[in-house]
Each structure stands twice: as structure tokens, then as C-alpha cells.
């Protein structure tokens, strides 16, 4: 997905001296029809189509633009980006052969071959071409951008970052290096840096669907919905963006709209597990438990080791009072993704709701081994200690939760701390610092 994301963005914005790319597709189409012998009009239309993911039409328009530009290397390379965007090695290699016939060892020809090898996942051969291109021209934007992508795909963070920075130094107006940096930082779990890079890409070109998508899935809320709505409108049928937007709508309580988007996504890709998960959650919430479980089971067939599916099934089983099945799914989620705290948090919450504080602390002990400062886990431990009547330990865990990391209901924790100062009541009914 990361390789394809940047390939699409590269394809949609490759530029030398062309006008701005944020054109309305209908206006670009009208201009192309009115100026059939105008290379710039055909090129602008081709790039607008490519940005919309309409590959066949984009190829035709860019082919016409290349003919009108005497099949220059720049025009032929731009035509090749259609194949890169489709992640199709054979088409990519065939497109690069047209550059080879013009000038086999030109810098752009080498970059084209390198891009084709990256599509084929042969980064070693891509580096050979890019190093030769860099030796021939040490100040070429496309060379540095491709080097950044190649190093990113190898998870070489420092080398990729340096290459993207060199590309920015060569042309500070282009958004693609910033998108590449965002993807690089996201893969390295540098979330704040990733968000900043995506925002800079958005500032440079606010009409790139890939940038809108990456920002949308990270910002959430109203901003995320706005960005993802624009991405879906710009590239109709983009399944990942449809599902991401549906997720935000579901979380906002817009179940009908979300359900329509999940179903639309599944019409285009029946094997999209995330769409099955989202649809399953909506069906369960609507009281259609049997249909919801079927959707979640289908997701499990597609992705057998999915923590998301396990958690969703656990919530379903909990609503049906199938307690052991619910605990089992939470444990499975924790085993599948040991660094993801949600499985153990869910199991601990369920154990506390079932008044099984010993079981809850067992889950929390395991959780805190890998997430010792997670506020949600520490607050739950405070609840467990409070349930046992151990006020000193409860106070300690609540105070640690306030100093810890991650989202937590601080007001609820403060209320629980105040309750510890009150005379102890009989019975085990308690007010917890964590949501039920």
C-alpha cells in the first residue's frame, strides 16, 4: 500500500514547466476537447484523469500529449507514471523501453527503469540505476525522490530522509517529498513527524487524494471526515478511502451513511477485511447479531490473525453474555498483536465488570510489562485495588495514571481519588476511574 500510494501521487503530479495541477476534471476535459493539438491541454487532462485513478483514459491523454511533444523524454516518462500508478511491472517496463529507444542511459531513462524495478520489488536493481543517474546528474529532483522511495521501501530511515531532503532543496514547491517523508515517519512510528510532513504536503498542493487520505486517517473527527470525503470524491471507487470514511461516520453515530459506504466498498472488493469488520459492527449495534457475526467471520477468513476482528467478536460475545468466548477473543487479540494494548485492556475491563478483580489484575500485570506507563491500564489497576479494598494501592495506581501516557478520563480518576478519602462503605459496589 505504501509503494502504491506514492506511485499514484508521483504519477498525478509529475511536472516540469506545466501549469498548476489542481484543475477541475470537467474543466480539463473541456479544455482538451477544445484544444486537441495543444500538448499542455492534453497533458493537464491526462494528469487530472490520473489523479482521479482513471488509468486508461489518462494513458490515452498522455499518449496524445507525448506525440504533440515529439516524444520527449519528459513526456514519455510522464506517460510511464501511469503504469507505475497501477503497480504493474510489465507495463512499467514496456513504458521505459520507449525512453530507452530515445536515449538508453539518460538520467530520466534510468529513473524510469528504477521505478519499474521498485514496482517489481527489486530495490537492489533500482539502486544500481539510481546511483548511475546520480553520478550523471547530482542535482536532479526525480533521482532524489526515487532514492527516497527506494530507501523507504527498504526501511532505511536516515538514507530515505536525506534523499527526500535533497529533493526538497532542489524544488521546494513539490509536495511529493513531503508525502514520502510522511510515509517514512509513519512506518517508523514517528507519528508527530508524519503528521507534520503530511500537513506540509497539503499546504503545497491541497488537491492530492493520497495526502487527503493520509491526513484524514490520522486527524479523525470533522477534519478527517472532510479530507476523506474529498479523497473519495476525487477518486471514486477508492476502497481504502471509502472504508476509512465509513469508520469515521460509524464512530460519529452516522450508521446509515457508514453502512452504505461499507457495502459500496465490498461491491468493489469483496475481500476487504476492514469493510467486513465495520459492517459487522454496525449490524451488531443494530441488533442484527447473526448477520453481524457472519460479517466478522468473513473478515476472519480473509485475515485469520486480525486483532481488530477478535476484538469485534469479543464485543459481540459480551453483548450475548458469552463471557468465556469474549475473554478468549480478547486474549487472542493480545496474542496476535502483543504491542497493541487494546486486547488486554478489554479483557481487564470485562473482568472488572464481572467482579473478577483477580483475573483483571492478571491481564493488567501482563499489559504493564510492555506498557508500564499506560494511563488506561494504570487506572484499571486502581479500580481493581479499590474493588479489593486496598485504598493505598488504588491511590498509587490512580496517581500514576494521571502521570502516565495515553488518553484517559482524568476527571473520573480525580473523582475516584476523592472517593478514597471518604469512609469505606460495605459491599463491593464501586465507582471506577475507567468507563464501564
At a CB cut-off of 8 Å and minimum separation 6, what does 168 contact? Answer: 174, 177, 178
Range 49-56 average pLDDT: 96
CA distance linking residue 252 with residue 221, whole number of Å:
8
CA distance linking residue 347 with residue 122, whole number of Å:
43
| Contact yes or no for 107/73 (Cβ under 8 A) | no
Lowest mean pLDDT among 1-10, 120-129, 415-424: 1-10
Q: CA-based Rg of the chain, rounded to a whole angstrom?
A: 26
Give me the pLDDT at residue 421, please. 86
Going by pLDDT thresholds of 50, 70 and 90, the confidence category of residue 12 is: low
> Which DSSP letter does residue 87 get?
T
Report the CATH architecture of 207-296: Alpha Horseshoe (1.25)
Give me the pLDDT at residue 24, please. 77
Give per-residue pLDDT as tens, 272-282.
999 999 999 99
Domain ranges of the chain: 2-206, 207-296
Give per-residue pLDDT as tens, 373-391.
999 999 999 999 999 999 9
Q: Do domains 2-206 and 207-296 have the same CATH topology?
A: yes
CATH superfamily of 2-206: Tetratricopeptide repeat domain (1.25.40.10)
Give per-residue pLDDT as tens, 342-362.
999 999 999 999 999 999 999
Give me the pLDDT at residue 434, please. 55
Lowest mean pLDDT among 198-207, 260-269, 275-284, 424-433: 424-433
> Which DSSP letter does residue 69 get?
T
Going by pLDDT thresholds of 50, 70 and 90, the confidence category of residue 21 is: very low
At a CB cut-off of 8 Å and minimum separation 6, what does 270 contact? Answer: none
Whether the per-residue pLDDT at 426 is higher than 90: the answer is no
If residue 125 lies in a helix (H) or strand (E), which one and from where to where? helix 123-136
Going by pLDDT thresholds of 50, 70 and 90, the confidence category of residue 17 is: very low
Give me the pLDDT at residue 22, please. 40
Amino acid at each position: 500500500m505504501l509503494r502504491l500510494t506514492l506511485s499514484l501521487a508521483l504519477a498525478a503530479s509529475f511536472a516540469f514547466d506545466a501549469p498548476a495541477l489542481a484543475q477541475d476534471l470537467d474543466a480539463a476535459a473541456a479544455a482538451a476537447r477544445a484544444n486537441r493539438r495543444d500538448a499542455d491541454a492534453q497533458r493537464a487532462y491526462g494528469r487530472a484523469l490520473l489523479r482521479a485513478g482513471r488509468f486508461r483514459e489518462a494513458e490515452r491523454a498522455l499518449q496524445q500529449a507525448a506525440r504533440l511533444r515529439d516524444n520527449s523524454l519528459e513526456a514519455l516518462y510522464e506517460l510511464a507514471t501511469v503504469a507505475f500508478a497501477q503497480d504493474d511491472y510489465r507495463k512499467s517496463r514496456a513504458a521505459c523501453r520507449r525512453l530507452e529507444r530515445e536515449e538508453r542511459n539518460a538520467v530520466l531513462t534510468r529513473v524510469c527503469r528504477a521505478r519499474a524495478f521498485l514496482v517489481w520489488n527489486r530495490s537492489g536493481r533500482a539502486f544500481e540505476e539510481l546511483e548511475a543517474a546520480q553520478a550523471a546528474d547530482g542535482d536532479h529532483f526525480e533521482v532524489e525522490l526515487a532514492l527516497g522511495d527506494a530507501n523507504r521501501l527498504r526501511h532505511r530511515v536516515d538514507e530515505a530522509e536525506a534523499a527526500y531532503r535533497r529533493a526538497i532543496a532542489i524544488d521546494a514547491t513539490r509536495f511529493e517529498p513531503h508525502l514520502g517523508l510522511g510515509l517514512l515517519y509513519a512506518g517508523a512510528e514517528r507519528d508527530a513527524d508524519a503528521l507534520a510532513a503530511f500537513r506540509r504536503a497539503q499546504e503545497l498542493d491541497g488537491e492530492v487524494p493520497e495526502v487527503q487520505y493520509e491526513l484524514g486517517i490520522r486527524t479523525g473527527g470533522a477534519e478527517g471526515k472532510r479530507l476523506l470525503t474529498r479523497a473519495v470524491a476525487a477518486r471514486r471507487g477508492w476502497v481504502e478511502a471509502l472504508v476509512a470514511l465509513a469508520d469515521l461516520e460509524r464512530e460519529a453515530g452516522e450508521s446509515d451513511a457508514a453502512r452504505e459506504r461499507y457495502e459500496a466498498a465490498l461491491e468493489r472488493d469483496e475481500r476487504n477485511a476492514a469493510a467486513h469488520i465495520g459492517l459487522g459492527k454496525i449490524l451488531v449495534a443494530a441488533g442484527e447479531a447473526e448477520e453481524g457475526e457472519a460479517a466478522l467471520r468473513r473478515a476472519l477468513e480473509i485475515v485469520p490473525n486480525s486483532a481488530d476482528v477478535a476484538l469485534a467478536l469479543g464485543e459481540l460475545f459480551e453483548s450475548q453474555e458469552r463471557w468465556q468466548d469474549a475473554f478468549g477473543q480478547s486474549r487472542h487479540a493480545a496474542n496476535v498483536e502483543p504491542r497493541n494494548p487494546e486486547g488486554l485492556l478489554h479483557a481487564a475491563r470485562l473482568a472488572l465488570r464481572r467482579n473478577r478483580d483477580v483475573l483483571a489484575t492478571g491481564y493488567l500485570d501482563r499489559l504493564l510489562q510492555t506498557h508500564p506507563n499506560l494511563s488506561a491500564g494504570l487506572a484499571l489497576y486502581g479500580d481493581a485495588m479499590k474493588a479489593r479494598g486496598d485504598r493505598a494501592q488504588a491511590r498509587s495506581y490512580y496517581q500514576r495514571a494521571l502521570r502516565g501516557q495515553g488518553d484517559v478520563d482524568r476527571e473520573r480518576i480525580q473523582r475516584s481519588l476523592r472517593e478514597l478519602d471518604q469512609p469505606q462503605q460495605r459491599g463491593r459496589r464501586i465507582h471506577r476511574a475507567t468507563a464501564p
